[in-house]
Structure 1
């Protein structure tokens, strides 16, 4: 199985059915220096990973050197003088997600109605609805898709009272699912037992205080654990405090069509395929543009 993210920190986040190793990590609020110790079962990191491409530089005015040639009327020769001026040099827009056609100014020319794909988890026959982000062919000529879950992937942690938080075992999850579903229902969300992971359907609001950071006491990242997540909600069950959270970065994975035309999770070695790396690069560049637009819009609204 190959799961990818734009930050590479969630490569094995969904693989919670593989043999986990217990790892001591710390969890802290985004704007809070008070840290807690977290015992977390972290899945083994994939041996192959996709490198993140650096976001493109911000678009706008670029400095351009102009050479002005001025004729010398006296002797018929010409002399050159160098001046500097600012001119607008727009960069090409990143390729949009699959199903959209835009012009050079970012105006939408066409949008397909078929932008959702369903992939089935063979271990429990549960479906996972996904947004089709990229469509491409592998170096071997296979039809591939870069997918992102439609609903929000969620993970559950429990308070240990002594050491902070720990991951919940598979056996314990089954017992607390009704309480978790009720906690999500209180905030108008719906828990879904999707293929490959649990997801939550619906939107939720959060502040800076809800952003949590994962890492060791010396600031190192943990294999299989996201570097940053967002707390969705908390609940109690049989005297234990639980927290539902989702990773901050988009969760992506590659699927290929088999000989019957059905989507299957790609093998691990596909992550090094140049076509996959190119698709990840396109997605990274597009998301960087989206972030730039959000910052620009926020600054414009702040000036009013």
Structure 2
């Protein structure tokens, strides 16, 4: 990739310059990232190894966990490695790759969460037709569509940014390369590009969020006719998904459905959708889900038996 300007690298200002606060951040984010990796891997292994967790909901959850691992890995390792660095540099190509990766996996997660809401809507509103509508081929197409949607969104954001000239300064007031901080450094008029970024990123977040909200309104209306036991079970399942949606979509809409301006609070809020949400997903989906917890217990007991039979 060639850049026609005189900027070959960018300097990330990071989260804080306070050395004592850096030590706290290092410990926290290292623990968060390890939790993300182990927690999401545990969900993937549990679902793949359990014959009972074979419904479309768990099929989507497997890919959500995989996306969370990839999404957090785009930003978290660089953030952790740079905490004690005096000069946090990243090459132009590395910066663009980070921009592409963040929007690719973030976009895929947005579309996948929307697909999961549709799955829950069909399961609760049309239970008799659920297995017919949510066939394996349909679920696979929805997952593939999520990846393709994330790619189209990401490549558009990336191309809109890479064609801009960067003449200096090259300091990014963030802990990773995102579209708005980069647009701020461009030495040209970015009004049109800013509108295209909003249309591509902000509107996708807003439209998907409205679709999610509409699906849950339909679910709540439908649940009025269910028994109290069925209503409680359905709400318990949907509550996990709603929690994830609020934590992920709230900051995204705040960032990408506004003009190309940056605030000092942006990088602190960005932690929610790049690190906190991928870390909370395993906890939210396991602590509120008896089927997953039972499958994890069986997996743990089976591994203990195999270990005992092998080494004792």
- Asked if TM exceeds 0.5, the reply is no
Higher share of residues assigned strand: 1
Computing the radius of gyration over CA atoms, which structure comes out larger, 1 or 2?
1
TM-score (norm 2): 0.21
Higher share of residues assigned helix: 2
TM-score (norm 1): 0.22
